[in-house]
Structure 1
Amino acid sequence: MDKIYITENRLNTQACIDQVADDGCGGLVVFVGNVRNKTKDKSVQYLDFESYIPMALKEMEKIATVAIERWNLHDMAIHHRIGRVPIGEEAVVIACSSVHRKESFEACQYAIDTLKETVPIWKKEVFEDGEVWVSAHP
Structure 2
Amino acid sequence: MTHLSTEKIDVMALWEHCHHVAAGGIVLFSGEVRNNHRGRNVSHLYYEAAEQMAEKMIADLLDEAKQRWELQIAYAVHRLGNVPVMETAVVVVTGAAHRKEAYEANQYIIDRIKHETPIWKCEYFADGQRIWGGHCSCHQEST
Task: Tell me the TM-score normalised to structure 2 length.
Answer: 0.90
* Code of the aligned partner of 1:37: N
Question: In structure 2, what is the Cα distance between the partners aligned to 1:57 and 1:18?
Answer: 23
- The equivalent residue for 1:118 is 116
1:48 Cα offset (Å): 0.4
1:17 Cα offset (Å): 2.6
Question: In structure 2, what is the Cα distance between the partners aligned to 1:61 and 1:12?
Answer: 20
What is the 5 A alignment of 1:55-94? 55-94=53-92
Task: Tell me the TM-score normalised to structure 1 length.
Answer: 0.93
Mean Cα deviation higher: 63-72 or 14-23: 14-23
Q: Which consecutive residues of structure 1, in runs of 5 or more, have no partner in the other structure?
A: none
CA deviations over 1:1-43 (Å, ceiling 9, x no partner): x2x4211110011232344311221100000000000000000
- The equivalent residue for 1:23 is 21
Mean Cα deviation higher: 99-108 or 11-20: 11-20
* Code of the aligned partner of 1:66: E
- The equivalent residue for 1:10 is 8
Question: In structure 2, what is the Cα distance between the partners aligned to 1:18 and 1:99?
Answer: 18
Which consecutive aligned stretches of 4+ in structure 1 deviate over 2 angstroms post-superposition? 14-20, 135-138
- The equivalent residue for 1:101 is 99
* Code of the aligned partner of 1:133: W
- The equivalent residue for 1:136 is 135
* Code of the aligned partner of 1:103: E
Q: Which consecutive residues of structure 2, in runs of 5 or more, have no partner in the other structure?
A: 139-143
Question: In structure 2, what is the Cα distance between the partners aligned to 1:14 and 1:69?
Answer: 26
Q: Matched residues, percent identical?
A: 35
RMSD: 1.4
